[in-house]
Chains A and B, each alone.
Chain A
């Protein structure tokens, strides 16, 4: 059938192991004794957008946070299984979670710029915290590059010294994306990055996500099915199983999932007949 959703990935003949940047193997995530994510296996292709969809509470955010060791930050939380990032298990003993988070960044649902910092300082904040003393001029150069990549430069170039909180919601979210980019990660995880934004700002972020795939890998959790259809190459559908643990029901190209899903539960969910 003619592709009318995303074609980029499905037109690549078949993916080799080396085309995957993250390999998730037998992943289980717990909050205390409660298992929130159960036996997830999935391979995330590099320089593509992978969307995670599913009903509220099915474990999407939890799974996403397992991809950069943010899950274990919650009290009593732990992870079983492996997440292979360039052949290294990010859960291997001795691996520094802070270093992992430099390679695998995160953008949250609510734009959260540091309110007391200027736009410019916001962009380089993560960079400053994560490393490496850098010269002011280099910081400014980096900030400009990231603001351009985040499609925000033209709108803020005259107010770099103003507070980050003075920007509109959509601008703040792009500022947070610029901040994530400044750490120069390889993967950016986004948890409902557009849910606080209006439709125009949403489309801007979506365009940005597509453009970013030239260099970055994006994994995005979204409640907006149309958004998953518009931006992603791969779609993962999660559902709570009988013991309330989130399971991966179907994972395939977005085109396949949106036009002809294999699993009846996926079909019911994406055609809006779920529940």
Chain B
């Protein structure tokens, strides 16, 4: 005996989380594009759209509260709702990091770039790829994929170390680059944190499937 109404509402909840996920993916890639192509209008758009991401988070939270209050979810249903409640927090924060990077793109404005952007777009692509794979794993309730995504985090960490060391070299050899270099350190830092947040999302997916909270990737820094 399925619970038609309840199952439909759970499905809606999942759909909304996926919508929020793609909004966040878009924010990451747009903020990076804005930086790369010095497109200030695009950067402003990312900042504007972050309000929608925040609103989505509250809407999803409200759906969860209503489901808990009216449907008495238990077992896997309960775990799903609790996991979604946690995942929207991480998604919203990733959105904030993207907004932060859009803000930095605006501050950099049309200053000449320190160096061609290569590793930073790579970090953004990797973080986005991880997020996408995590949302896929959520839809398929696939704990193994979620664990694999967590393992990918080291790629982003390594890129961050590389970018960081490189920028330090710039600053050390030519103090006039400090301002510009520091901004890029922040961009890279935001991307590194975004990938860490994706690993939190993966932990929640594993929780839905196994009922256990595994600390899969120890958050660094």
Footprint of B on A, CB under 8 Å? 1, 225-226, 229, 258-261, 266-267, 270-275
Size of the B side of the interface (Cβ < 8 Å), in residues, is 17
A-B pairs, 6 with minimum CB distance: A260-B211, A275-B1, A270-B74, A267-B75, A272-B3, A258-B74
Min distance, Cβ A260 to any Cβ of chain B, angstroms: 3
Residues 39-71 (chain B) with a chain A CB within 8 angstroms? none
Task: State whether A270 touches B211 (Cβ < 8 A).
Answer: no
Task: State whether B74 touches A259 (Cβ < 8 A).
Answer: yes
Q: What B residues does A274 contact at CB under 8 A?
A: 1
Min distance, Cβ A7 to any Cβ of chain B, angstroms: 16
How many angstroms between the C-alpha atoms of A226 and B207 in the bound complex? 23
Q: What B residues does A266 contact at CB under 8 A?
A: 75
Task: State whether B213 touches A1 (Cβ < 8 A).
Answer: yes
Min distance, Cβ B3 to any Cβ of chain A, angstroms: 5
Closest chain A residue to B1 by CB distance?
Answer: A275
Task: State whether A261 touches B3 (Cβ < 8 A).
Answer: no
Q: What A residues does B207 contact at CB under 8 A?
A: 1
* B2 contact from A229, A258, A259, A273, Cβ within 8 A: A273
B133 within 8 Å of A by Cβ? no
Min distance, Cβ B57 to any Cβ of chain A, angstroms: 21
Task: State whether B1 touches A273 (Cβ < 8 A).
Answer: yes
Q: What A residues does B2 contact at CB under 8 A?
A: 273
What are 21 A-B pairs at a CB distance below 8 A? A1-B207, A1-B212, A1-B213, A225-B72, A225-B74, A226-B72, A258-B74, A258-B75, A258-B78, A259-B74, A259-B78, A260-B75, A260-B210, A271-B74, A271-B75, A271-B76, A271-B77, A273-B1, A273-B2, A273-B3, A275-B1
How many angstroms between the C-alpha atoms of A73 and B212 in the bound complex? 46
Task: State whether A259 touches B79 (Cβ < 8 A).
Answer: yes
Q: What A residues does B79 contact at CB under 8 A?
A: 259-260
How many angstroms between the C-alpha atoms of A275 and B3 in the bound complex? 11
B73 within 8 Å of A by Cβ? yes
Q: What A residues does B211 contact at CB under 8 A?
A: 1, 259-260
Closest chain B residue to A260 by CB distance?
Answer: B211
How many angstroms between the C-alpha atoms of A1 and B210 in the bound complex? 11
Task: State whether B213 touches A271 (Cβ < 8 A).
Answer: no
Closest chain B residue to A274 by CB distance?
Answer: B1
How many angstroms between the C-alpha atoms of A226 and B212 in the bound complex? 23
How many angstroms between the C-alpha atoms of A273 and B76 in the bound complex? 12
Task: State whether B75 touches A270 (Cβ < 8 A).
Answer: yes
B117 within 8 Å of A by Cβ? no
Q: Residue among B2, B79, B211, B212 with the most chain A CB within 10 A? A: B211
Closest chain A residue to B213 by CB distance?
Answer: A1
How many angstroms between the C-alpha atoms of A225 and B6 in the bound complex? 17
How many angstroms between the C-alpha atoms of A258 and B211 in the bound complex? 11
Q: What B residues does A229 contact at CB under 8 A?
A: 74
Residues 67-94 (chain B) with a chain A CB within 8 angstroms? 72-79
Residues 191-221 (chain B) with a chain A CB within 8 angstroms? 207, 210-213
User: Given contacts A1-B213, A225-B72, could you give 7 more A-B pairs where the C-beta distance is less than 8 Å?
Assistant: A1-B212, A259-B74, A259-B75, A260-B212, A271-B73, A272-B1, A274-B1
